[in-house]
Amino acid sequence: MTNPEAGTGTTRALVKVTVNLTPRAVNALDTACARTRDTKTDTINRALVVYNLVHDLMEHGGGNLTVQRPDGSTERVHLL
């Protein structure tokens, strides 16, 4: 099921989706939720946005992401 408003920044209703996760993915989800104190729903939504960004970069020959840490230091990540 798709949501025509997805990605437009407008308020939209949630759509319930059932997924089967590997133990590794469940551990990653639990760790991310513990770190951020976000819900599993919020964490999965954010992860999918990042996944699409990475995929777009890869489709266009790669690119760079700059990560800025709370202490002000930065790290550049190059995706091929």
Where in the chain are the domains? 23-79
Q: What is the pLDDT along the chain (80 residues), one digit of tens a residue?
A: 444 445 555 567 889 999 999 999 999 999 999 999 999 999 999 999 999 988 888 888 888 889 899 999 999 988 87
The answer to whether 30 and 39 have CB atoms below 8 angstroms apart is no
In whole angstroms, give the CA distance from residue 2 to residue 7. Answer: 11
Q: What SS3 class is residue 60? A: coil
pLDDT of residue 2: 47
Instruction: Report the predicted TM-score, pTM, of the whole model to 2 decimal places.
Output: 0.68
In whole angstroms, give the CA distance from residue 28 to residue 33. Answer: 9
pLDDT of residue 63: 84
Closest C-alpha to 17, from 38, 39, 45, 46: 45
In whole angstroms, give the CA distance from residue 66 to residue 64. Answer: 7
